[in-house]
Structure 1
Amino acid sequence: MQTGSDGSSSRPPAGPGGQLSPAPGSPPVCTEARLRVAVGASAGNPSAERQGFVVVLTNTSDQPCSAIGYPSVAATDDNGRQERPAARSEGGNLFRVGPPETVVLQPQGTASFGVEWTAVRSGDDSACLPYEQFVVIPPHQTRGQVLERQTTICDAFQVHPVVAGTSGTRPR
């Protein structure tokens, strides 16, 4: 939902193929050419059952643009092949989000999303695999960017909707 200056909000309409469209009156969708994608803060701690990180999207253009919905994220093997796609989730243990809402990125403005997973073995050691990179495709885009990040993923690999700011979490 887009939140207006008067505190009102509206449910975003679904576009072609069921993909969410920005709220009416919002700037056009942020394109790959307008976005810089970078790894943000870590979430959880190295010894915790749940681990994750924030991905930050920055509008590098001189015009506002909108982002809404879920990015695509996949962990890759040593050869860059997408091995493990993240499941979409409105919220997890590390990130408080809720349903997707339109986020307007002003020039040099930011949006972010959280990625999290279970990092503790639960009996089947073969389910835990090491990864060194993630391919990230922003919402409404088709080309991915590779982000370097070493980790071991055991289960429950999730990506959350885009939110305003750099925390990956929507303020209450």
Structure 2
Amino acid sequence: MANTSQPVRRTAMLAGAVALLGLVGACGSESSTSSAPQPTKAPRTTHADTGAATRTPTAPAVTTAPGDTAGPASASARTDGRCHTSELRAAVGRVDPGAGQRNFPIVLTNTSDRTCTLYGYPGAAFVDASGAQLGPDPERAPASPVTVTLTPGKSAWAGLSFSSPQISGARTATPAALLVTPPDEHDPLKVRWSAGEVPVGGGESSVSVTALEAGTGP
């Protein structure tokens, strides 16, 4: 037993070496196939012809030179919009009596060089020489107002009516003027009143005004 032959021992040693080499090879193969994944880089967009990187274009800033104006908008502003007090002239037409009533047309004429519009009722107030109002504000007669377009020189009118004081028995006064205020305006136009006394209080003293319409009267 102690004298084992050299060939047998050499054979055993070779077998062990072969087994060890096989184990090492298997470990090396497993390590190479399970390596950690590499981080992915974002793709770079390039021009097809030069390969240069593409950048998103930035819109140029828009600048306006001092003094530039919007021509069409300015023209529109001049041809549209209501008539202002400074662009109108007021007048009171001749009395039109009828059935115990006294009726007067209040006429507004466009004196400007542009076209403008009127819509609704004018304001009206009788005043004395000192400018104090005589009687209450006129009542608005029921109506369906329409927009009246006034080219330069054209007119619109509204009716001012009240019961004849000789018939109604109302308390009266003789105004020095009639103040007429265009619709949606604050400044009145002053018209000299020469048609005599008007009712300012008591029974049947109300004064009424109609909505504006095109023309200078009935």
Would the TM-score normalized by the shorter structure come out above 0.5? yes
1-side partners of 2:209 and 2:104: how far apart? 10
Question: Normalised by the size of structure 1, how large is the TM-score?
Answer: 0.69
2:106 to 55, 75, 88: 55
Report the counterpart of residue 213 of structure 2 in structure 1. Answer: 163
Report the counterpart of residue 95 of structure 1 in structure 2. Answer: none
1:43 to 83, 91, 96: 96
The structure in which a higher percent of residues are helix is 2
In the TM superposition, residue 124 of structure 1 has moved relative to its aligned partner by 5.1
Report the counterpart of residue 140 of structure 2 in structure 1. Answer: 88
Report the counterpart of residue 22 of structure 1 in structure 2. Answer: none
1:112 to 157, 161, 170: 157
2-side partners of 1:122 and 1:42: how far apart? 17
Q: Does the C-alpha gap of structure 1 residues 157 and 123 become closer, same or farther in structure 2, counting only changes over 3 Å?
A: closer
Matching residue's letter, 1:134: L
Alignment of 1:14-163 (within 5 A): 27-44=80-97, 49-84=100-135, 85-90=137-142, 98-121=143-166, 127-150=171-194, 151-154=196-199, 155-163=205-213
Give yes or no for contact 1:101–1:163 (8 Å, CA) kept in 2. Answer: yes
1-side partners of 2:174 and 2:154: how far apart? 33
SS in 2 for 1:128: strand
2-side partners of 1:79 and 1:57: how far apart? 24
> Runs (4+) of structure 1 moved beyond 4 Å?
121-125
SS in 1 for 2:197: strand
Question: Normalised by the size of structure 2, how large is the TM-score?
Answer: 0.55
In the TM superposition, residue 123 of structure 1 has moved relative to its aligned partner by 7.0
- The structure whose RCO (Cα within 8 Å, separation 6+) is larger is 1
In the TM superposition, residue 109 of structure 1 has moved relative to its aligned partner by 1.0
Q: Does the C-alpha gap of structure 1 residues 120 and 31 become closer, same or farther in structure 2, counting only changes over 3 Å?
A: same
Q: Does the C-alpha gap of structure 1 residues 50 and 107 become closer, same or farther in structure 2, counting only changes over 3 Å?
A: same
Query: What are structure 2's unaligned runs of at least 5 residues?
Result: 1-78, 200-204
Larger Rg belongs to: 2
Give the percent of matched residue pairs that are identical in Structure 1 and Structure 2. 29
In the TM superposition, residue 122 of structure 1 has moved relative to its aligned partner by 5.7
Q: Deviations over 1:14-73 (max 9, x none)?
A: xxxxxxxxxxxx93100112111112232216xx62112111111112211000011110
Give yes or no for contact 1:82–1:135 (8 Å, CA) kept in 2. Answer: no
The structure in which a higher percent of residues are strand is 1
Query: What are structure 1's unaligned runs of at least 5 residues?
Result: 1-25, 91-97
